[in-house]
Structure 1
């Protein structure tokens, strides 16, 4: 007898709970961004497919630290899946040939920042399969120490609704599982364009509901639940189609 819908739902929920995303931010050598895109568009598709690397998004950073910056995101079933994928990848002589050829005598990437992230409960599934264009905003949001639970309530009940009201589409909400400057949530938004982002951010800065919420947090907890943040503004990379869900749909066993 096939499993009931309830069993299927529990299995899907368990898979989503164990899955991870890996975020890589590369500081690219001046004048080498086109070479990075060549590596990803011409060499990596077959190599990634061979080893099961699921690259679900790539961007150029148009504003943020460590410019020029290239950013990409990968999805895995769990940590064991991630380790198996990359052990296979790095054992492939073809990767080392491609690396040497595309570096062309000089390293094209000067710095690598890598983060592991797990889906936050506030990340609602988005079934729209259409490509997501526009200007994307990646926010590494510092959370006040010991305030994760309260911050999640604020995130779901106040912050995300107001971000949507300001004109953004919420593409992802993660808890950072490892990386610099813990504790953080990582947020990914899509804005129609730069003008919409600018207007939306001004609206949020002036929002009286937010101002009152932060004032109440300082009164109750001695600090605002959201503290400093690192923000990158991102354009989808040439040749990359980014879709809502970012790999959270049905995944191969």
Structure 2
């Protein structure tokens, strides 16, 4: 109901009432309320986990072949991967020169698609010609390790991104205590990632490993730092943060949530989609 002042003939400048259907007002209020709730329901940093299937591959080169294997990916391999529907996510090498490894992540629509793509890749005449050319003087790779993963709902959207300034990456692998993985994920979801951001550590990607025989998956994730030195400094500051000290103590009243935490600092190759 709205009050208005009359202005027409015979109105005597008096007040009169305009009646509007209250249903319209209620509808507009409801739409506004539900829109706000919808916007707040899912934080932008936590989109629903992607259904893509991921594979982390670690290449250990033959002695003296480290640069050759890195270069083969640069010139040939990544392009042939894409040809067969294998998405290049990121390519990294350890910052420690003593660790001569090439670590990269591929994404596929599914496990079946992964197997099909690798079969087609292995029999591709173009790839076979590359192998013959690059291995004329001997094999380049001593062994390859594969880790199969699914994206965690903790993860920001995983997509190619090149920062304006060079970054150092950190691959962290958490082995949860028996039956404590849900608690660990909850702690990351509610507290850890926010505290990482507070201390200038960028959340890049989070995965859960695929396991067999009912084993508990591992949590693997990647952080980005301005440099290795700053990454270590920021992690020290994170560990001393009063809020983190309380969160850790409260969440581990019944014991530690992890049995092992591994950290590996990495630098991206010049052809990595994520840099």
TM-score grouping bracket, smaller chain normalisation: 0.7 to 0.9
Residue 197 of structure 1 corresponds to which residue in structure 2? 231
Q: Find the residue that maps to 1:178 and give its secondary structure.
A: coil
2: CA distance, partners of 1:184 / 1:45: 27
Q: Which runs of 5+ in 2 are unaligned?
A: 1-47
Is 1:159 matched with 2:176?
no
Query: Number of paired residues?
Result: 224
SS at match of 1:86: helix
Deviations 1:204-247 (A, max 9, x none): 2323333333333332x2x211331222111111232316xxxx
The 3-state SS of whatever aligns with 2:95 is strand
What is the root-mean-square deviation of aligned Cα atoms in Å?
2.5
Q: Return 5+ residue gaps in structure 1 as ranges.
A: 1-14, 244-253
**Aligned: 1:32 with 2:57:** no
Q: Please give the TM-score of this superposition, normalised by the length of structure 2.
A: 0.73
Matches within 5 A, 1:153-232: 153-178=186-211, 182-219=216-253, 221=254, 223-232=255-264
Query: Does the CA contact (< 8 Å) of 2:92 and 2:267 recur in 1?
Result: yes
| Between 97-106 and 223-232, the greater mean CA deviation after superposition | 97-106
Q: Deviations over 1:189-214 (max 9, x none)?
A: 11111232121121123233333333
Moved over 4 A (4+): none
Tell me: higher relative CO, structure 1 or 2? Use CA pairs within 8 A at least 6 residues apart. 1
Which residue number in structure 2 is paired with residue 239 of structure 1? 271
For residues 216 and 63 of structure 2, the distance between their equivalents in structure 1, rounded to whole angstroms, comes to 30
TM-score (norm 1): 0.79
Distance 1:21 1:126 in 2: 11
